[in-house]
Structure 1
Amino acid sequence: MFRKFAIAAVTVATVATAAVAMSPTDAYAKNRRGAIAAGAILGLAAGAIIASQAQPRYYQPVRCQNQPIRRWDPYYRQYVVVGYRQVCY
């Protein structure tokens, strides 16, 4: 889980660095629609990556119980418990 989080953090850092490294002429261009669209797409992509890593993981719990081991005892003439073994499902 930590590995996925680290990959997401590196991706976000790379995108943020690329956004900061833009030249000033790109920032003051007359046509800003493309820059706004690119920023929105990168923001949504970064948000999707971070949100996908934040989901809780559910695992089916392992159920274990102690099962008695029974053996025939000729002295008592019945089955007696001689021990237990753990059985997990």
Structure 2
Amino acid sequence: MKGQVTDGGVVNGVVHTESPAGVSGTEVLSLPAPTNEWVEHSFTFNIGSDPEWGLGFTLGGVCGAVAGCSVAVDFDNIRLTAN
């Protein structure tokens, strides 16, 4: 991950376990602020009780209510490994 954030900006990561009955689990990934250089990050997360429909994986930048807030973030080589 690499990029830039200004005041009020953060990078979010969320993993949802999806089942026929809806979402059976949600894990929020605690992502640090990006830097101008590529940095590798690794996370471990739990899946919900019924993963029949798979996982939903969301990454992105978000701005709070701060005037002039901006987030520019790049992701590369993302890999999810089941243990």
The TM-score normalised by the length of structure 1 is 0.19
Which has the larger share of helix?
1
Q: Which has the higher contact order (CA 8 A, sep 6+)?
A: 2
Which has the larger share of strand?
2
The TM-score normalised by the length of structure 2 is 0.19
